[in-house]
Amino acid sequence: MRKRSVFLAASVLILILVVIFGSIAWFSHLRGGDVGPVFGEKVAVLEIKGVIADSQPTIEQLATFRKDSSVKAVVVRIESPGGGVSPSQELYQEVGRTGLEKPVVVSMGSIAASGGYYIASAAQKIYANPGTITGSIGVILQFTNFEELLNKIGFRMEIVKSGKFKDVGNPSREMTPEERAYLQTMIDNVHQQFVRDVARGRRMQEEEVREVADGRIFTGEQAKELGLVDELGNLRDAINAAAKLAGIEGEPKIVYPEKEKRSVVDYLFNRVTEKLADNIQEYMGLLLLPPLPGEPNLS
């Protein structure tokens, strides 16, 4: 009778443990984590997708992974044609800051150009596919001139300003040579920052970077020959390399950021916009997505 009670108690305890560990694994999966074990040394995978505009969510997640002692390395998966200057610089700085505490490896998808490459250059190691579109180390500022159109329809814009450069880029008139020279100086300064940061991140001479920093795009294979990429390989190769750099033995456990809780309306809206962006990118082929008018962009 006593043996039966002990056996029953042990069975109940085992059942409880199975339920607890199963629940932990399931909730980890729902949060975006791997369906495998959630304990032990991990490699975290963080995605940067689309046009780079808001850096804060990614910065916060990098900080979370940096503070997590069980996360031994971070892989940043980049799928981006570029974006704003400031958010790209902020992410470059945060990737570098994380790299001081644990290995950071970048995996490039189909495209990781301009601002996407800016961020990648801060990592200890960069993996790209042979056909990845990358490079495009350059800055662009675009304005639209509607002067002829407005004249045809009889529309005229009156401007009152506090300084001669306050309405630079006004779409209702031609840009003056002085304004163009002023904007060129600004763009050249941002471009120099780009070159300097890439050289620092890649441990190259600025002159080496400047030779290829004329806005050209490269395949992953070409980028490797130029020293802009370390290895050719996919996401799994990057994860294995990160695990090796971190000293993890055997198959690394992979974790992802917690998925943001969204309403049905948010989900449907995001699905529609993502589909639209995919269609635009497919239509444009190898062309990079255009920047917003009047705003400096790394694209």
Indicate whether 253 belongs to any domain: yes
Say which amino acid occupies 8: L
| pLDDT over 60 (residue 286) | no
Q: What is the CATH number of the domain that holds 214?
A: 3.90.226.10
| pLDDT over 60 (residue 282) | no
Catalytic residue among 49, 164, 166, 275: 166
| pLDDT over 80 (residue 86) | yes
* 70 belongs to the catalytic site: no
- Taking only the tens place, the pLDDT of each residue in 183-236 is 999 999 999 999 999 999 999 999 999 999 999 999 999 999 999 999 999 999
Indicate whether 162 belongs to any domain: no
Indicate whether 177 belongs to any domain: no
Indicate whether 226 belongs to any domain: yes
Indicate whether 269 belongs to any domain: yes
* Pairing between β-strand 104-113 and β-strand 133-135 as defined by DSSP bridges: parallel
* 172 belongs to the catalytic site: no
Indicate whether 155 belongs to any domain: no
Helix axes 85-99, 56-67, angle to 10 degrees: 0
Stated pTM of the model:
0.77
Cα 117 to its chain centre, rounded Å, is: 9
Indicate whether 248 belongs to any domain: yes
Indicate whether 65 belongs to any domain: yes
Catalytic residue among 55, 88, 107, 114: 114
* Pairing between β-strand 253-255 and β-strand 42-49 as defined by DSSP bridges: parallel
3-state secondary structure 139-203: CECCCCCCHHHHHHHCCCCCCCCCCCCCCCCCCCCCCCHHHHHHHHHHHHHHHHHHHHHHHHHHC
Domain that holds residue 209: 38-138+200-298
Query: Which ranges constitute the DSSP H helices of 203-263?
Result: 206-210, 220-225, 235-246
Number of domains in the chain: 1
